[in-house]
């Protein structure tokens, strides 16, 4: 028995040249279809990011008002020969129907939410906020927002629905005074014992003795007095690998930065909702509204995900059996 054949091509592949040619042609078609679908996804992302209506008044062939999405697809096709040929000759899958739009929006929403959850799970602290408003169709919209610190030390406010509401409480504000750089010189002469006591009561997870020692050292060092806030101080610790040396201070900073204190961004997100679901678009489904709001408010996150289109295509292909080929063999 010859064991050398293990790990090589199967017998069917060795004997049937047509089989190998069929796989190659299938994969070439999948590559082409994925490229076309990626262009269509880019058009949907563009409309979502700038809060533009995808559908037009009359999307039938020959209509003068196909809508922004169809117009954008046609414009991209004028610059992309492969997409132009596909739109002119496609019989199985064209990719511009309202059904495909909704399926792509659903996949995009799923991909963004998965990325947000993955980022949030890697953070030490997480705050969750809820709020509600009434839209143009007099439907109550419940909103969930996550706030956390990413691996680079940046504060992330990410929505799971449409908007966010921030809150404040007294102990949190008192704790913030412990790390106000403009008070460090004053604290070297009179340590803020009352503020520390209230902080330890509010956050029992902290080691009081170690935190006081760390703060006393921070107050004495000139380099820390140049920081412009809790986030700036936290990033200074992280950039200089001082997280273990000032472990309790870093923990407190993460709590302070993660817990929201203002309501400034609420109006921004309510405005987004109002622009997306207007009087002329008040019959929009909840799933479509969620997806369009996410693409608008989280446009930076979508842009930073270099494999966003590929993840959307994978989800789109796995949803159901499709007549067009999107899965490699």
Contact status, residue 164 vs residue 293, Cβ threshold 8 Å: no
Q: What 8-state DSSP symbol labels residue 130?
A: E
Q: What is the pLDDT of residues 109-133, one digit of tens each?
A: 999 989 888 888 888 888 877 666 6
Contact status, residue 112 vs residue 298, Cβ threshold 8 Å: yes
Which H, E and C letters describe 181-217, residue by residue?
Answer: HHHHHHHHHCCCHHHHHHHHHHCCCCCHHHHHHHHHH
Question: How far is the C-alpha of 113 from the C-alpha of 115, rounded, in Å?
Answer: 5
pTM above 0.75, yes or no: no
Residue 183 has pLDDT above 80, yes or no: yes
Residue 270 has pLDDT above 50, yes or no: no
Residue showing tokens 């703060």? 215
**Exposure class string for 198-210: b at 16+ Cβ within 10 A, else e:** bbbeebeebeeee
Contact status, residue 228 vs residue 191, Cβ threshold 8 Å: no
Give the residue extent of every domain in the chain.
11-103+306-319, 108-167+277-294, 170-258
29-38, 132-141, 156-165, 229-238: least confident range: 156-165
Contact status, residue 258 vs residue 127, Cβ threshold 8 Å: yes
Q: What is the pLDDT of residues 306-322, one digit of tens each?
A: 999 999 999 999 988 88
């Amino acid at each position: 028995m010859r064991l050398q054949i293990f790990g090589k091509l199967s017998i069917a592949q060795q004997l049937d040249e047509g089989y190998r040619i069929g796989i190659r042609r299938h994969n070439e078609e999948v590559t082409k279809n994925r490229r076309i679908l990626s262009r269509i996804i880019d058009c949907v992302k563009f409309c979502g990011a700038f809060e533009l209506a995808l559908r037009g008044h009359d999307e039938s062939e020959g209509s003068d008002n196909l809508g922004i999405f169809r117009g954008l697809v046609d414009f991209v096709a004028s610059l992309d020969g492969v997409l132009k040929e596909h739109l002119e000759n496609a019989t199985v899958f064209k990719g511009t129907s309202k059904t495909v739009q909704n399926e792509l929006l659903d996949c995009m929403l799923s991909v963004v939410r998965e990325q947000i959850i993955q980022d949030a799970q890697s953070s030490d602290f997480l705050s969750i906020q809820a709020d509600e408003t009434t839209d143009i169709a007099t439907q109550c919209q419940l909103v969930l927002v996550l706030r956390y610190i990413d691996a680079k030390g940046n504060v992330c406010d990410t929505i799971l629905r449409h908007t966010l509401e921030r809150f404040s409480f007294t102990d949190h504000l008192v704790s913030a005074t412990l790390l106000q750089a403009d008070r460090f010189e004053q604290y070297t002469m009179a340590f803020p014992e009352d503020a520390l006591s209230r902080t330890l009561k509010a956050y029992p997870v902290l080691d009081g003795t170690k935190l006081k020692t760390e703060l006393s050292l921070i107050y004495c060092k000139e380099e820390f007095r140049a920081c412009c806030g809790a986030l700036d101080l936290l990033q200074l610790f992280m950039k200089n690998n001082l997280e273990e040396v000032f472990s309790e201070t870093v923990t407190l900073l993460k709590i302070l930065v993660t817990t929201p204190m203002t309501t400034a961004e609420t109006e921004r997100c309510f405005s987004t909702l109002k622009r997306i679901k207007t009087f002329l678009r008040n019959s929009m489904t909840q799933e479509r509204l969620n997806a369009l709001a996410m693409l608008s408010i989280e446009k930076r996150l979508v842009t930073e995900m270099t494999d966003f289109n590929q993840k959307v295509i994978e989800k789109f292909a796995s949803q159901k059996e499709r007549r067009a080929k999107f899965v490699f063999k």
